[in-house]
Amino acid sequence: MKALRLWAVLGVAVLASPALVWADAGKAPGAPAKPLEKSELESDFLFADEASAPQGPTPRTADGHPDFSGFWKGSRATKPVGNIGKDLPGFKLPLTPAGEAALKHNLTQTIDPESRCLIGGIPRHDASALPFAIVQNSDHVTFLYMYTYFRTVPFDVRRHEEDPDTRYFGDEIGWWEGDSFVIDTVALKDKNMWIDENGNPQSGAMHVTERWTRPDAGHIHVEATIDDPKFYKRPFTYSRTWLAGKSGSRLLEALCTENNVDLQHLGPGPGGIRADGTRGYDVPPLPENPPPPPDSYDAKPAGKP
Q: Which of 234, 215, 214, 217 is nearest to 226 (CA)?
A: 234
Closer residue to other proteins (CB): 163 or 295: 295
Q: Cα–Cα distance between 260 and 263 in angstroms, integer?
A: 6
Q: Which of 263, 93, 127 is nearest to 196 (CA)?
A: 127
Among 43, 152, 192, 237, binds other proteins (CB under 8 A): 43
Among 57, 94, 215, 280, binds other proteins (CB under 8 A): 280
Least Å distance, CB 177 to other proteins, is: 31
Least Å distance, CB 3 to other proteins, is: 10
Number of residues that bind other proteins (CB under 8 A): 98
Interface map 60-79 toward other proteins (x if CB under 8 A): -----------x-------x
Q: Write out the binding residues for other proteins, residues 178-217 only, by CB under 8 A.
A: 197
Q: Which of 95, 78, 96 is nearest to 86 (CA)?
A: 78
Region for residue 144 given its phi and psi (left: phi exceeds 0; alpha: psi -120 to 50; beta: otherwise): beta
Asked if residue 150 binds other proteins (CB under 8 A), the reply is no
Among 130, 135, 157, 217, binds other proteins (CB under 8 A): 130
Cis peptide before 190 (omega within 30 of 0): no
Asked if residue 267 binds other proteins (CB under 8 A), the reply is yes
Q: Write out the binding residues for other proteins, residues 10-29 only, by CB under 8 A.
A: 10, 12-14, 16-17, 19-20, 22-23, 25-26
Least Å distance, CB 32 to other proteins, is: 10
Contacting range for other proteins; rule: CB under 8 A; set: 2-10, 98-106, 155-163, 207-215 = 2-10
Cis peptide before 80 (omega within 30 of 0): yes
> Which secondary structure element, helix H or strand E, spans residue 75, and what is its range?
strand 70-75
- Residue 169: DSSP 8-state: S
> Which secondary structure element, helix H or strand E, spans residue 213, and what is its range?
strand 207-216
Q: What are the distances in angstroms from CA 96 to CA 100, 127, 222, 233, 270?
A: 6, 22, 26, 5, 21
Q: How far apart are the first and last CA of the chain?
A: 54
Closer residue to other proteins (CB): 94 or 281: 281
Bridge partner list, 226? 208, 236
Asked if residue 39 binds other proteins (CB under 8 A), the reply is yes
Closer residue to other proteins (CB): 4 or 62: 4
Among 67, 114, 172, 184, binds other proteins (CB under 8 A): 114
Among 90, 97, 284, 305, binds other proteins (CB under 8 A): 284
Asked if residue 118 binds other proteins (CB under 8 A), the reply is no
Least Å distance, CB 143 to other proteins, is: 15
Among 33, 109, 159, 177, binds other proteins (CB under 8 A): 33
Bridge partner list, 221? 213, 241
Asked if residue 175 binds other proteins (CB under 8 A), the reply is no
